Amino acid sequence: MASGDDRLSGWLADYDTSQVTIGVVASHSALQILHGARQEGFRTLGIAVGENRRKMYKAFPGAEPDDWLVLDDYHQMLDEAEWLRTRNTVIVPHGSLVEYLGAENYIDLEVPTFGNRRILKWEASREAQRKWLQMGGCNVPRVITDPHDIAGPVIVKYEGAKGGKGYFVARDYRDFRRNVDVEEEFTIQEYILGTRYYLQFFFDPIPDDGYQVDGIDSNRGKQLGRLELLTIDRRDEANVDEFYKLGSLRDLREMNIEPSFVVTGNVEVVLRESLLPEAFRLGEGAVASSFELEEGARGMIGPFCLECIVTDNLDFSVFEVSARIVAGSNVSVGGSPYMNLNEYDNSVGRRIARCIRKAIEKDQLHAVLS
C-alpha cells in the first residue's frame, strides 16, 4: 500500500494547481473557511447532507460556495473522492467533519486535505492528548484514577462527549457516586480554578521568518517553521457560567441543579501581554512535540488550539488540544486583536487559504497537505 506521502504525491501529480477548489463540510467554521478561500481567489465547494444548508448559506453571500455537493450521508464523501479530485479539491477539515466521518475514515479519504490528517487521531483520545501536551512541556490537570481518591473538586468527563455534554463537578466520592453514569467511560480530572483561554495558534511549516519553533523537521531537513497566535476566545457554557446568580452550590443542590458545561457560544478575549511569552512557550512546545508523536511524524500543520486555564498564580494548565480550526475562532471573522497586528488575515479561514495559496506559489503544496 502507498504511504501517505506517496499517495498525496500521486494525487497532486494530476492536479492543476492554478484551479484549486477549497472544499468544506458546511458546518462548524465553514463560513469563514469559504469566505477566506474566496478572498484568496479560490473556487469554493460546500458539502452538505440534504438541501437545508443551502438556504442558510444564501444569507451570507460573501461565504456562499460556488458549488455544492449534496449527499444523503457524510460517509458518501469517501465514494466521491474521484469526483472531488477531478475538481482539484483540497478539503479543509474541522471538528464536524472529523466527527461525522470518524478519525479513521478521515485518514482514508482519498482527497488531498489541508494539514496533517494523522494528527487528528491524537486529539481523539484524552490519554494521547495528555502525552502529547506533557511531552511539549505543558502543565496538564492531574488525573484521578480511583474515584475513592477524590479529595477536592474534580470534573468528570465522558469519553466521546461532545461540547461538554454530561460533564459534572464532584467534591468527594459521594458526589461522584450520586452523579456518575457507570455505563459510560469517563476521566476524572482535577478541577482547576482560574480563567479559561482558548488559544488559537497557526503553525506554518514554510516561512523561515517570524516566531520560529526551535527544532529541525527530520523529514524535510529544515527548521520547523513559523508559529502565530491568531485569536483567543472563551466559550459560553450553560449553565455553569450563570450558575452563581441562583446562589451557592449548596443552594442549587437543594433545588436539584448541578453545574453543566454545554457550549452555547463564544466570546473573544485577550491575555495580559505579560502572559503572552508563556502562551507562545506552550504553543511552541506543542508543535515541537507533535513531530515526535510517532515515527516519521509530519507534526502539526495549520491551526490548532490549546484550551487553558490561568490560575491566580498566573500558571497555565492545558486541559485539551485541538489539532485543527476550532469553532471558537468564529468570533474573529473580521480580524482579532492579534491578527490585526499582522497585515494580512481577517479570519483563521483566510489564514488557511493564504497558507495554501503561498504553498502553491512556492510549489510546496505537499508541505501543507496530507
Where on the chain is the footprint of ligand AMP (CB under 6 A)? 141, 155, 157, 164, 167, 189-192, 196, 235, 237, 261, 307, 309, 319-320
CB of 80 or CB of 236, closer to ligand AMP = 236
What lies within 8 Å, CB to CB, of 138 at 6+ separation is: 282, 285, 286, 306, 316, 318
- Asked if 98 and 120 count as a contact pair (C-beta separation under 8 A), the reply is yes
CB of 101 or CB of 309, closer to ligand AMP = 309
Shortest distance, CB of residue 312 to ligand AMP, whole angstroms?
Answer: 14
Label the pairing between strands 154-158 and 186-190: antiparallel
- Asked if 286 and 321 count as a contact pair (C-beta separation under 8 A), the reply is yes
Q: Cα(153)–Cα(341) distance, rounded to whole angstroms?
A: 39
Q: What is the 3-state secondary structure (H, E, C) of 287-328?
A: HHHHCCCCCCCCCCCEEEEEEEEECCCCCEEEEEEECCECHH
Q: Three-class SS of residue 146? A: coil
Shortest distance, CB of residue 139 to ligand AMP, whole angstroms?
Answer: 11
Our measurement of the distance from residue 43's CA atom to the centroid of its chain's CA atoms, rounded to an integer in Å, reads: 24
Q: Cα(318)–Cα(305) distance, rounded to whole angstroms?
A: 10
Shortest distance, CB of residue 316 to ligand AMP, whole angstroms?
Answer: 12
CA–CA distance from 333 to each of 63, 93, 213 (Å)? 11, 18, 26
Shortest distance, CB of residue 320 to ligand AMP, whole angstroms?
Answer: 4
Cβ atoms < 10 Å from Cβ of 248: 10
Shortest distance, CB of residue 60 to ligand AMP, whole angstroms?
Answer: 27
- Asked if 36 and 367 count as a contact pair (C-beta separation under 8 A), the reply is no
CB of 306 or CB of 359, closer to ligand AMP = 306
CB of 137 or CB of 152, closer to ligand AMP = 152
Side-by-side strand order, sheet with 186-190: 168-170, 154-158, 186-190
Shortest distance, CB of residue 51 to ligand AMP, whole angstroms?
Answer: 32
Cβ atoms < 10 Å from Cβ of 215: 16
CB of 47 or CB of 279, closer to ligand AMP = 279
CB of 35 or CB of 324, closer to ligand AMP = 324
Cβ atoms < 10 Å from Cβ of 315: 13
- Asked if 89 and 45 count as a contact pair (C-beta separation under 8 A), the reply is yes
Shortest distance, CB of residue 194 to ligand AMP, whole angstroms?
Answer: 8
CB of 331 or CB of 353, closer to ligand AMP = 331
CB of 228 or CB of 307, closer to ligand AMP = 307
Shortest distance, CB of residue 190 to ligand AMP, whole angstroms?
Answer: 6
Shortest distance, CB of residue 271 to ligand AMP, whole angstroms?
Answer: 17
CB of 190 or CB of 268, closer to ligand AMP = 190
